Structure 1
Protein backbone atom coordinates (compact mmCIF):
# COMPACT_ATOMS: atom_id res chain seq x y z
CA UNK A 1 0.00 0.00 0.00
CA UNK A 2 2.83 2.37 0.87
CA UNK A 3 4.47 1.70 -2.51
CA UNK A 4 1.21 2.55 -4.32
CA UNK A 5 0.88 5.82 -2.41
CA UNK A 6 4.51 6.77 -3.08
CA UNK A 7 4.11 5.86 -6.76
CA UNK A 8 0.96 7.99 -7.08
CA UNK A 9 2.62 10.98 -5.38
CA UNK A 10 5.71 10.63 -7.58
CA UNK A 11 3.58 10.50 -10.74
CA UNK A 12 1.63 13.57 -9.64
CA UNK A 13 4.86 15.50 -9.15
CA UNK A 14 5.99 14.65 -12.69
CA UNK A 15 2.99 16.38 -14.32
CA UNK A 16 4.16 19.79 -15.57
CA UNK A 17 2.67 22.80 -13.87
CA UNK A 18 -0.37 24.05 -15.77
CA UNK A 19 -0.72 20.89 -17.86
CA UNK A 20 -4.13 20.16 -16.42
CA UNK A 21 -5.21 23.79 -16.72
CA UNK A 22 -5.86 23.95 -20.46
CA UNK A 23 -7.93 26.99 -21.47
CA UNK A 24 -11.61 26.22 -21.33
CA UNK A 25 -13.77 26.49 -24.39
CA UNK A 26 -16.61 28.99 -24.64
CA UNK A 27 -19.46 29.77 -27.01
CA UNK A 28 -19.80 32.84 -29.21
CA UNK A 29 -23.37 33.79 -30.09
CA UNK A 30 -23.88 36.28 -32.91
CA UNK A 31 -27.07 38.14 -33.81
CA UNK A 32 -26.92 39.46 -37.37
CA UNK A 33 -29.36 42.24 -38.24
CA UNK A 34 -30.33 44.06 -41.45
CA UNK A 35 -30.25 40.81 -43.44
CA UNK A 36 -32.02 40.78 -46.81
CA UNK A 37 -34.36 37.82 -46.15
CA UNK A 38 -34.48 35.02 -48.68
CA UNK A 39 -31.51 36.30 -50.67
CA UNK A 40 -28.36 34.19 -50.82
CA UNK A 41 -26.61 33.03 -47.70
CA UNK A 42 -24.62 34.49 -44.85
CA UNK A 43 -20.95 33.62 -44.63
CA UNK A 44 -19.54 34.18 -41.16
CA UNK A 45 -15.80 33.95 -40.52
CA UNK A 46 -13.85 34.23 -37.27
CA UNK A 47 -10.27 35.44 -37.13
CA UNK A 48 -7.87 35.10 -34.20
CA UNK A 49 -5.09 36.87 -36.13
CA UNK A 50 -5.03 39.72 -38.63
CA UNK A 51 -3.87 37.33 -41.37
CA UNK A 52 -6.50 37.33 -44.11
CA UNK A 53 -8.87 39.70 -42.30
CA UNK A 54 -11.43 40.67 -43.53
CA UNK A 55 -11.65 38.73 -46.80
CA UNK A 56 -9.90 35.39 -46.61
CA UNK A 57 -9.93 33.33 -43.43
CA UNK A 58 -7.31 30.61 -43.19
CA UNK A 59 -8.63 27.08 -43.54
CA UNK A 60 -7.97 26.62 -39.83
CA UNK A 61 -10.26 29.52 -38.81
CA UNK A 62 -13.87 28.77 -37.82
CA UNK A 63 -16.39 29.60 -40.55
CA UNK A 64 -20.10 29.06 -40.98
CA UNK A 65 -22.61 29.30 -43.80
CA UNK A 66 -26.22 30.09 -42.88
CA UNK A 67 -29.37 30.66 -44.91
CA UNK A 68 -30.51 34.27 -44.95
CA UNK A 69 -34.02 33.34 -43.86
CA UNK A 70 -35.01 36.46 -41.91
CA UNK A 71 -34.13 40.08 -41.26
CA UNK A 72 -32.40 38.89 -38.10
CA UNK A 73 -30.37 35.68 -38.01
CA UNK A 74 -28.71 34.12 -34.96
CA UNK A 75 -25.72 31.81 -35.19
CA UNK A 76 -23.54 30.13 -32.61
CA UNK A 77 -19.93 29.00 -32.62
CA UNK A 78 -19.65 26.47 -29.76
CA UNK A 79 -16.47 25.43 -28.00
CA UNK A 80 -14.09 28.17 -29.16
CA UNK A 81 -10.82 28.80 -27.35
CA UNK A 82 -11.09 31.79 -25.05
CA UNK A 83 -9.34 34.91 -26.26
CA UNK A 84 -9.81 37.72 -28.74
CA UNK A 85 -11.68 37.17 -31.99
CA UNK A 86 -12.76 39.34 -34.91
CA UNK A 87 -15.89 38.40 -36.85
CA UNK A 88 -16.67 39.19 -40.48
CA UNK A 89 -20.08 38.59 -42.09
CA UNK A 90 -20.96 38.68 -45.78
CA UNK A 91 -24.40 38.21 -47.28
CA UNK A 92 -23.38 36.42 -50.46
CA UNK A 93 -26.31 37.30 -52.71
CA UNK A 94 -25.11 35.45 -55.81
CA UNK A 95 -23.45 32.43 -54.19
CA UNK A 96 -19.96 32.99 -55.59
CA UNK A 97 -18.29 32.72 -52.16
CA UNK A 98 -16.75 36.18 -52.09
CA UNK A 99 -17.75 39.80 -51.65
CA UNK A 100 -18.43 41.54 -54.95
CA UNK A 101 -17.31 45.12 -55.40
CA UNK A 102 -17.72 47.91 -57.92
CA UNK A 103 -14.95 49.53 -59.98
CA UNK A 104 -13.96 51.67 -57.00
CA UNK A 105 -13.64 48.62 -54.75
CA UNK A 106 -16.77 49.38 -52.74
CA UNK A 107 -18.81 46.31 -51.71
CA UNK A 108 -21.94 45.51 -53.70
CA UNK A 109 -23.26 43.00 -51.16
CA UNK A 110 -24.26 43.48 -47.50
CA UNK A 111 -21.42 42.99 -45.02
CA UNK A 112 -20.56 43.64 -41.40
CA UNK A 113 -17.90 43.17 -38.75
CA UNK A 114 -17.85 42.71 -34.99
CA UNK A 115 -18.17 46.00 -33.07
CA UNK A 116 -19.92 47.47 -36.15
CA UNK A 117 -16.97 49.73 -36.98
CA UNK A 118 -17.06 50.03 -40.75
CA UNK A 119 -15.04 52.87 -42.24
CA UNK A 120 -16.70 54.65 -45.15
CA UNK A 121 -13.97 54.15 -47.74
CA UNK A 122 -11.86 51.25 -46.50
CA UNK A 123 -12.26 47.71 -45.17
CA UNK A 124 -12.77 47.19 -41.44
CA UNK A 125 -9.60 46.99 -39.34
CA UNK A 126 -8.81 43.82 -37.41
CA UNK A 127 -7.95 45.68 -34.18
CA UNK A 128 -11.27 47.55 -34.22
CA UNK A 129 -13.25 44.35 -34.74
CA UNK A 130 -11.77 42.37 -31.83
CA UNK A 131 -14.13 41.03 -29.16
CA UNK A 132 -13.14 39.11 -26.05
CA UNK A 133 -14.44 35.61 -25.49
CA UNK A 134 -14.20 34.83 -21.79
CA UNK A 135 -15.13 31.80 -19.68
CA UNK A 136 -18.86 32.59 -19.87
CA UNK A 137 -18.73 33.04 -23.66
CA UNK A 138 -19.96 36.16 -25.42
CA UNK A 139 -22.98 37.50 -27.26
CA UNK A 140 -22.45 40.09 -29.96
CA UNK A 141 -24.58 41.86 -32.53
CA UNK A 142 -23.52 42.70 -36.07
CA UNK A 143 -25.54 45.11 -38.23
CA UNK A 144 -25.03 44.48 -41.93
CA UNK A 145 -24.21 47.52 -44.01
CA UNK A 146 -26.20 47.65 -47.23
CA UNK A 147 -24.41 48.76 -50.41
Structure 2
Protein backbone atom coordinates (compact mmCIF):
# COMPACT_ATOMS: atom_id res chain seq x y z
CA UNK A 1 0.00 0.00 0.00
CA UNK A 2 2.81 2.41 0.85
CA UNK A 3 4.54 1.60 -2.47
CA UNK A 4 1.35 2.44 -4.41
CA UNK A 5 1.03 5.76 -2.57
CA UNK A 6 4.69 6.59 -3.23
CA UNK A 7 4.27 5.72 -6.92
CA UNK A 8 1.17 7.91 -7.18
CA UNK A 9 3.00 10.76 -5.45
CA UNK A 10 5.96 10.37 -7.82
CA UNK A 11 3.70 10.47 -10.90
CA UNK A 12 1.88 13.56 -9.61
CA UNK A 13 5.15 15.35 -8.87
CA UNK A 14 6.52 14.54 -12.35
CA UNK A 15 3.38 15.88 -13.97
CA UNK A 16 3.49 19.05 -11.90
CA UNK A 17 7.14 19.75 -12.79
CA UNK A 18 6.30 19.82 -16.48
CA UNK A 19 8.11 16.64 -17.50
CA UNK A 20 5.08 15.68 -19.57
CA UNK A 21 4.02 19.26 -20.34
CA UNK A 22 2.48 19.85 -23.73
CA UNK A 23 2.36 23.33 -25.22
CA UNK A 24 0.59 25.11 -28.06
CA UNK A 25 2.21 27.38 -30.62
CA UNK A 26 -0.26 29.91 -32.04
CA UNK A 27 0.70 30.90 -35.58
CA UNK A 28 -0.40 34.08 -37.34
CA UNK A 29 0.44 33.71 -41.02
CA UNK A 30 0.49 37.09 -42.81
CA UNK A 31 0.65 37.78 -46.53
CA UNK A 32 -1.80 35.07 -47.64
CA UNK A 33 -2.64 36.16 -51.20
CA UNK A 34 -5.96 34.32 -51.61
CA UNK A 35 -8.49 32.16 -49.84
CA UNK A 36 -7.93 29.31 -52.26
CA UNK A 37 -6.53 26.06 -50.84
CA UNK A 38 -4.83 25.58 -47.49
CA UNK A 39 -1.93 26.82 -45.42
CA UNK A 40 0.17 23.69 -44.78
CA UNK A 41 2.74 23.35 -42.02
CA UNK A 42 5.44 20.87 -41.06
CA UNK A 43 7.16 20.84 -37.66
CA UNK A 44 10.67 19.42 -37.39
CA UNK A 45 12.47 18.59 -34.15
CA UNK A 46 16.05 18.05 -35.34
CA UNK A 47 18.51 19.17 -37.96
CA UNK A 48 18.73 15.78 -39.67
CA UNK A 49 15.02 15.67 -40.48
CA UNK A 50 14.61 19.31 -41.56
CA UNK A 51 12.66 19.65 -44.83
CA UNK A 52 12.52 15.88 -45.36
CA UNK A 53 8.91 14.96 -46.08
CA UNK A 54 9.21 11.49 -44.57
CA UNK A 55 10.69 12.75 -41.28
CA UNK A 56 8.18 15.42 -40.24
CA UNK A 57 7.53 15.51 -36.48
CA UNK A 58 4.03 16.97 -36.84
CA UNK A 59 2.10 18.37 -39.80
CA UNK A 60 -1.28 19.70 -40.76
CA UNK A 61 -3.17 22.31 -42.71
CA UNK A 62 -5.80 24.99 -42.23
CA UNK A 63 -8.14 26.62 -44.74
CA UNK A 64 -6.45 29.71 -46.20
CA UNK A 65 -7.88 33.08 -45.23
CA UNK A 66 -6.83 35.98 -47.46
CA UNK A 67 -4.57 38.40 -45.62
CA UNK A 68 -3.99 36.48 -42.41
CA UNK A 69 -4.58 32.85 -41.46
CA UNK A 70 -4.31 31.91 -37.78
CA UNK A 71 -4.19 28.48 -36.18
CA UNK A 72 -2.62 26.53 -33.32
CA UNK A 73 -0.12 23.70 -33.40
CA UNK A 74 -1.10 21.72 -30.32
CA UNK A 75 0.58 19.33 -27.92
CA UNK A 76 4.26 20.06 -28.47
CA UNK A 77 6.51 18.91 -25.62
CA UNK A 78 9.29 21.22 -24.47
CA UNK A 79 12.13 21.27 -26.96
CA UNK A 80 13.62 22.83 -30.05
CA UNK A 81 11.62 23.00 -33.28
CA UNK A 82 11.61 24.56 -36.74
CA UNK A 83 8.49 25.10 -38.86
CA UNK A 84 8.11 25.18 -42.64
CA UNK A 85 4.91 26.62 -44.12
CA UNK A 86 3.48 26.92 -47.61
CA UNK A 87 0.24 28.10 -49.20
CA UNK A 88 -1.12 25.14 -51.13
CA UNK A 89 -3.31 27.35 -53.30
CA UNK A 90 -4.30 24.60 -55.75
CA UNK A 91 -5.07 22.07 -53.01
CA UNK A 92 -2.86 19.27 -54.35
CA UNK A 93 -1.15 18.79 -50.94
CA UNK A 94 2.29 19.37 -52.51
CA UNK A 95 4.64 22.32 -52.67
CA UNK A 96 4.72 23.04 -56.39
CA UNK A 97 8.12 23.96 -57.82
CA UNK A 98 9.47 24.89 -61.24
CA UNK A 99 12.02 22.87 -63.20
CA UNK A 100 14.85 24.28 -61.06
CA UNK A 101 13.12 23.34 -57.80
CA UNK A 102 12.16 26.91 -56.96
CA UNK A 103 8.77 27.07 -55.20
CA UNK A 104 5.85 28.40 -57.26
CA UNK A 105 3.70 28.74 -54.13
CA UNK A 106 4.19 31.05 -51.17
CA UNK A 107 6.48 29.68 -48.47
CA UNK A 108 7.84 30.74 -45.08
CA UNK A 109 9.78 29.41 -42.12
CA UNK A 110 9.53 29.89 -38.37
CA UNK A 111 12.50 32.27 -38.31
CA UNK A 112 14.81 31.88 -41.29
CA UNK A 113 14.20 33.23 -44.78
CA UNK A 114 14.64 31.70 -48.23
CA UNK A 115 18.08 32.35 -49.63
CA UNK A 116 19.13 33.06 -53.19
CA UNK A 117 20.15 29.42 -53.65
CA UNK A 118 17.84 27.48 -51.36
CA UNK A 119 16.07 27.25 -48.04
CA UNK A 120 17.51 28.29 -44.68
CA UNK A 121 19.21 25.78 -42.39
CA UNK A 122 17.45 24.21 -39.40
CA UNK A 123 19.42 26.31 -36.88
CA UNK A 124 18.35 29.50 -38.67
CA UNK A 125 14.70 28.52 -38.20
CA UNK A 126 14.89 26.83 -34.80
CA UNK A 127 13.13 28.13 -31.70
CA UNK A 128 12.58 26.73 -28.22
CA UNK A 129 9.17 25.77 -26.84
CA UNK A 130 8.93 25.78 -23.04
CA UNK A 131 5.47 27.34 -22.65
CA UNK A 132 2.54 28.32 -24.82
CA UNK A 133 3.72 30.85 -27.38
CA UNK A 134 2.59 32.98 -30.31
CA UNK A 135 4.53 33.47 -33.54
CA UNK A 136 3.97 35.81 -36.48
CA UNK A 137 5.21 34.54 -39.85
CA UNK A 138 5.03 36.27 -43.22
CA UNK A 139 4.62 34.25 -46.44
CA UNK A 140 6.86 35.18 -49.36
* TM-score grouping bracket, smaller chain normalisation: 0.7 to 0.9
CA RMSD of aligned residues (A): 2.6
Structure number with higher strand proportion: 2
CA distance in 2, matches of 1:130, 1:78: 17
- 1:81 aligns to what? 77
Spell out, residue by residue over 1:10-63, the C-alpha distance to the aligned partner (whole angstroms, 9 max, x if none): 8628x889x82523111111110111121221111111123442251536x221
**1:142 equivalenced with 2:137 (yes/no):** yes
- 2:94 aligns to what? 98
Please say if residues 132 and 138 of structure 1, whose CA atoms lie closer than 8 Å, have aligned partners that are also in contact.
no
**1:126 equivalenced with 2:122 (yes/no):** yes
Unpaired segments ≥5 residues, structure 1: 1-6
**1:26 equivalenced with 2:6 (yes/no):** no
Q: 2:67 aligns with which of 63, 68, 71?
A: 71
1:88 alignment partner, SS class: strand
Deviation at 1:88, TM superposition (A): 0.7
Unpaired segments ≥5 residues, structure 2: none
Structure number with higher helix proportion: 2
Please say if residues 43 and 90 of structure 1, whose CA atoms lie closer than 8 Å, have aligned partners that are also in contact.
yes
Q: Say which one has the larger Rg.
A: 1
CA distance in 2, matches of 1:16, 1:26: 22
Instruction: State the 4+ residue runs in structure 1 displaced beyond 4 angstroms.
Output: none
When normalised by structure 2's length, the TM-score is: 0.82
Pick closer, same or farther for the CA change 1:10–1:138 going to 2, 3 Å.
closer
When normalised by structure 1's length, the TM-score is: 0.79
Aligned length: 137
